[in-house]
């Protein structure tokens, strides 16, 4: 076989693969109009999401996680390693990572919470007074900037 023929076969193979992929990823919808004519449309089906509900669920979940973070930080100040603090940090971090961030306005906040947990974990391991002060300032700053956290925590109690 010549090189040109090999290239032609490869291109045809890629074309067939592309066509198969496109057909397999699209859903076919049959729509009947008023004149009983059948029309076939090909489009992807995307679930509609209620953004307000998603945001409320996020706020509730993060409020609970934030109160866990505050409890964890208070426990870490005691210096008692028997409480399994590092494991609790990991569990809370996993919960945060699994959370769906509803919009761009919460992305930085979400990352800040993960970084706060990392700082708490480092403080558990190293026991640094200046680090404790920094963490406490971050927690208070979050409460000020995101007042809904305090509101949710107060209504839960």
What are the tens digits of pLDDT across the range 6-47? 899 999 999 999 888 887 777 666 555 556 555 555 555 666
The C-alpha atoms of residue 69 and residue 145 are separated, in whole angstroms, by 17
Q: Which residue has the higher pLDDT, 111 or 38?
A: 111
Domain ranges of the chain: 3-43, 51-156
Q: CA-based angle 66:72:75, to the nearest 5?
A: 145
Contact 89, 121 (CB under 8 A): yes
User: Closest Cα to residue 77, out of 18, 144, 124?
Assistant: 124
So what's the pLDDT on residue 157? Answer: 46
> In this predicted model, what pLDDT tens digit does every residue of 92-102 receive, in sequence order?
989 988 888 88
């Amino acid at each position: 076989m010549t090189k040109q023929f090999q290239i032609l076969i490869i291109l045809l193979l890629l074309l067939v693969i592309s066509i198969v992929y496109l057909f397999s990823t699209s859903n076919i919808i049959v729509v009947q109009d008023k004149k009983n004519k059948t029309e076939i449309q090909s489009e992807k089906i995307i679930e509609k999401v209620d953004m307000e509900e998603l945001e409320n669920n996020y706020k509730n979940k993060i409020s609970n996680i934030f109160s866990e973070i505050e409890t964890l930080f208070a426990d870490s100040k005691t210096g008692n390693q028997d409480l399994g603090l590092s494991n609790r940090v990991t569990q809370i971090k996993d919960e945060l990572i699994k959370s769906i961030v509803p919009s761009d306005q919460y992305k930085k906040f979400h990352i800040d919470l993960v970084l706060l947990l990392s700082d708490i974990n480092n403080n558990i391991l190293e026991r640094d007074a200046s680090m404790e002060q920094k963490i406490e300032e971050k927690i208070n700053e979050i409460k000020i900037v995101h007042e809904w956290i305090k509101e949710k925590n107060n209504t839960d109690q």
